[in-house]
């Protein structure tokens, strides 16, 4: 580096206004920590010690869901443009997030059923069933369920609009098929898709990026199923076979969701190889 370029870099650093150099934006301001840390408001009186844990865990889940939606939406849009590399990168980031989602259950498992019962009545009729972002992830991934909008009347106008948009727009699976079509593969029928996927799977040297992308989608699907299964065990550990606070069948309802798949054809492909 020349003296001139070094001086230029030093000058730019001096003007950066970072941290203790007189920054115009603080860490707390950038992250809006005042509002974020004021958002945990327990309802129980007298206060139940573990209610803050319960609220914090679920708010953190919603923040992760927001990021997953951000990544999946970008992956979907790039697939529609025929890309393969960045959609896979986005899916791999989602997989890392989903592993965190599963591991976070360990934290809530430190709460005993007795401590949960101290404030559980305050939740009714609130329920994780009402998480609009969770449903958005399912809809965007390919598991679209229009009846959810009919069954649940507690959605805000904004939440309902977002879910209706997810139902109307292409899913990740539909975008994956569109991408295969752009690469010259037939995708009009299930049998055509299986033939195309078998061709890709049989020649990974030639079609490696397409195969890796399909595997990233399976990993996303598998991780979401693992989260559902872990959630079932957590709920059963806390409330046994009691009904959910939102009126669902509790553990029985959650268990019925474990076997759902976003991409059943990618799973069936294994049996056809």
| Cα–Cα distance, 23 to 14 (Å, whole number) | 11
Q: Judge whether 120 is annotated as a binding position.
A: yes
Q: Are 54 and 127 in contact (CB under 8 A)?
A: no
**Sequence-ordered list of residues with C-beta below 8 angstroms from that of 209, at least 6 positions apart, any chain:** 84, 85, 88
| Cα–Cα distance, 5 to 148 (Å, whole number) | 60
Closest CA to 172 of 57, 266, 38: 266
Neighbours of 256 (CB within 10 A): 13
Q: What are phi and psi of 61, to 5 degrees?
A: -55, -45
Q: Judge whether 147 is annotated as a binding position.
A: no
| Cα–Cα distance, 67 to 70 (Å, whole number) | 5
Q: Judge whether 245 is annotated as a binding position.
A: yes
Closest CA to 73 of 131, 141, 132, 133: 141
DSSP 91: H
Indicate the annotated binding residues for heme. 231
Binding site residue list for substrate: 54-58, 120, 245
Residue numbers in the known binding site are 54-58, 120, 231, 245
């Amino acid at each position: 580096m020349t003296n001139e370029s070094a001086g230029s870099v030093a000058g730019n650093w001096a003007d950066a206004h970072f941290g203790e150099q007189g920054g115009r934006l603080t860490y707390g301001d950038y992250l809006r920590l005042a509002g974020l840390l004021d958002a945990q408001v327990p309802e129980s009186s007298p206060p139940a010690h573990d209610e803050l844990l319960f609220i914090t865990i679920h708010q953190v889940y919603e923040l992760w869901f927001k990021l997953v939606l951000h990544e999946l939406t970008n992956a979907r849009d790039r697939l529609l443009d025929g890309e393969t590399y960045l959609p896979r990168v986005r899916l791999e980031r989602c997989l890392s997030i989903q592993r965190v989602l599963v591991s976070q259950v360990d934290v809530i498992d430190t709460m005993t059923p007795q401590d949960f019962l101290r404030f559980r009545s305050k939740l009714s009729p609130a329920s994780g069933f009402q998480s609009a972002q969770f449903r958005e992830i399912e809809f965007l991934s390919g598991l679209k369920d229009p009846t959810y909008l009919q069954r649940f009347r507690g959605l805000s106008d904004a939440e309902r609009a977002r879910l209706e948009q997810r139902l109307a727009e292409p899913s990740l699976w539909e975008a994956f098929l569109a991408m295969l079509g752009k690469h010259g593969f037939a995708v009009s029928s299930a049998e055509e898709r299986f033939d195309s996927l078998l061709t890709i799977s049989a020649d990974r040297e030639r079609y490696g990026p397409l195969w890796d992308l399909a595997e990233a989608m399976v990993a996303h699907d598998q991780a979401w199923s693992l989260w559902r299964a872990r959630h079932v065990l957590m709920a059963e550990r806390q409330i046994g076979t009691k009904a959910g606070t939102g009126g669902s069948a509790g553990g029985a309802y959650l268990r019925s969701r474990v076997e759902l798949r976003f991409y059943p054809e990618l799973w069936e492909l294994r049996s056809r190889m």
